[in-house]
Amino acid sequence: MRRSASGSRVSDQFPAKLLSPPRSQSVTAMEDDVELLLPKYDPNSQAGKREQSRLRFAENVIHFIPLILLLGVVILWLFSHSAALRS
């Protein structure tokens, strides 16, 4: 299998210095300011309590999956054998 000749053109069109520009100090300082403005996660806040409640509910609902599957199997088994019993 032959390699395409156009593969080398990509590096010629985009020099390495343009692909990853150096970060200026003003950009780094601006990112630090943005981090200070972002809210911090507090597990005791109303949103944190809702999140914990939702996680507990999800953990408990997982245990109902085998019961639902068993109920589905029983229903399918009953309806598949009911026609044979009538004949």
The DSSP result for 27-43, as a single string, is HHHHHHHHHHHSPPP-T
Domain contains 55: yes
Threshold 0.75, pTM exceeds? no
22 lies in some domain = no
Give the C-alpha separation, 81 to 73, whole Å. Answer: 12
Given the structure tokens 């029983």, which residue do they identify? 74
Residue 52, domain extent: 44-87
Is 1 domain-assigned? no
In a domain, 51, yes or no: yes
Q: Structural domain tally of the chain? A: 1
Domain assignment present for residue 85? The answer is yes
- Tell me, yes or no, whether 11 lies in a domain: no
Is the residue at 53 inside a domain?
A: yes
- Dump pLDDT digits (tens) for 37-67: 777 777 788 888 888 999 999 999 999 999 9
Residue 66 maps to a domain: yes
- What is the predicted pLDDT for the residue at 46? 85
